[in-house]
Structure 1
């Protein structure tokens, strides 16, 4: 009796109360019902003529009882419910059904594919959109495990398994069964115990987004022309152009550059050839107050013959040397007065010029070649090099006092291979620029974008930009594929080392290549660990480090 959660009592054949539970006792608020005639307890007690139902009233409240049979034919079991509560339960049940219908309608009419599995990867529900995206009827998926679908080739990888493993939202981009690029975002449904109960995956066909993007570019084309014309009129054609800061490293670098833009001291930009040292220097100038009153003057110290570099930097007076202009000529320092002088490849300066440069930095004045009077100048110097100046100092090739004078605010730009989040945005930027420059409409396929993402790029951004322009102007088809790559790149097989690099970097390149191949061949981290003869936690950590997804 006490196990029944609603009011219940037992009567004999004379309607005398034999037993009742606590729920029934709450109705009458009495502990002395045994032996009472039930007809005397309720103000009304009306049995229905159609069925075993009894309607009763007690203190202005209505109840309904359902009569059941016991093993003893002389006893009757009555189970009751407050009609008002019963009405509320029916209403809540109706609302719940309506809510379920609404949710079903939302899922079914979603333009994106929706795929729901339980904690074991078994498919519970999906919608009709998945048929459009995968060309497979939605009924095919119901009841099937995602691992079985992978085994049959229906799915390449399972975002569901990643969500179950990591217990968080996971997004991956992959080709579907129909060969289209799709983005899959799986989100866990967590129960009160903190366990994943279900996984809801949203599937979007990226080909639709690419078409929308093309339309957006077309609509905004006129607006872009206006912006470029404004930049030209301001005489700053490179202002904020070609800057990509998707990676955390570059965000930090450009945030630092912005903060020190108006701190009037020397900056030393370090990094390999082609990483964009001049772009960063121009960014500092653009965001400084010096851009309002001076110019950004760039000098490549390694491109000018040493015998001419002194006069180019510091200028010369009339008659200073044979062939000199009769009126003399101002040097780059004077041209950059009130602005910024960018000394690229500073490591190529001769020791003699290093002495003269140090004097300018310390005293804020220069003396032209052949001149006798010093001239005050107001120039901020930004220097850059791909060489190790500290080693040059130790070898006597670079003055120590000049090194410390330049190295007040050092900023090191990492090579492109260490900030791969920037690569695909750069690819799109350079491709857009080339398409506009040559009035063409080229694009890259999925595999070629993947090559761009994982190639070693010894020439960094400059190499990437040159390769994109080369592909765009030498390929006949609008859609460029891996087969269009120059032979030296195709032979590299995605990753190559064709220059001397630190041993640690070489090891990481090889390690990433092996892990990428293993991830394509095996279904999970345990199989990869077994094949590579290492532990599963190590594989998980390495895959996360190199952003390789199963």
Structure 2
């Protein structure tokens, strides 16, 4: 091989000199550093400004073109010529730094692997163990040093390992996982991931071994904590002292807050509920709330409602219990399921239960006692799982005394009684309800109507015999029929205007608290019309600004201009 070719193959700056120090050959790496300074046939000492030889170490320190070099000399075979191979000292320093950094990274990697909670097992593509950590000892019961240099196939053959993902990872060229028991009978999750080289071949396999028994225990504990957290959250929601709005019903009075707290608590208690209250107080809303709040019924079945007073008695039985095909004249050939079947695993809401005929009261009692129904014309009873919620505006105890309602059925229904007060007994909710129904009607009819203070005062003092339903209907009527944007007392229907003077001048005696609230509404209503902000109102009424803000919020009064 030609001398020039030999020198050119060396991956570092290199040259050949004879015994006289003349340059015989050099490679392109040295030429890159030296440029025109290096020339064949010239003495090497002429190319370098410094040239110092250490004969004992065969090392030469040299300098040229402002760069320092280190060369190591050695004889060429069969000649007296010398081969000098070296590097620039700056490159040597960089190599030292890189080596130092590499050692640091290696130490850090070793520390990370060693301190991992999971077992880590690293092999080459043939399955020979390259590295592992101490965590594998507690998972397999065998010291980590035993694995080094051994092939996973041999370890499986000897029964030390039950399975290995290494060969699967190499074959499938992707991450592979499997679950198996360790020596102690605990479940472990083994996940192997491939490490590819520059050619795209699997070079190594990193296997992670995790003890699932600890994870299962943690998940179990987490489930208990989440369950406890949900319980606390529900309790906190129940205890929150603020206005809530559910399905269009404002809950602002202490009486209604207590009722909703109660129905939230009984939502998952699978017993009959009897809701009592005047017409229009929202008994159906309470019934639907019990259903939607239930974690059992709302997920399994439906909420079915039937008004016992709206269906003729001769049709009510077939509506409740259903009928078989051809059971009576005009009956469908396929038959029809009744309300009880439709509400299976859910809730059946029997509204106006006081209107239920005595004959059907007997059949309803049988359903409650035996949890089964029989269709009209049917021969076999059918098991059902239905929660009964009943409601009435009538005095069932008085009906029992008069013989109009079965006593045994009354006690079957009255397991969890809920009594809803009339709207006149929870006046704190009147003005918030007015605002709610006004916003609903404005959205429905694409309007922007407002209600003036005098009319709000009338709403607050009116007795509302029809309760929430009457209030809702009146607001919607006023929004539709009032030509102006601001609804006033004069826009009230005649029957309400007729009672307005009576309500104001000769109303029945009320409690001091109600009288105070009526006076506050009147005074605050005039104040919000006259003053621009709550600071001016507070000054005029000789009280604090926070008190004014709280009172305005309580009575749902808004400033017509300026800040609130």
Q: Output the TM-score relative to the length of structure 2.
A: 0.47
Which protein is bigger by CA-based radius of gyration?
2
Q: Output the TM-score relative to the length of structure 1.
A: 0.48
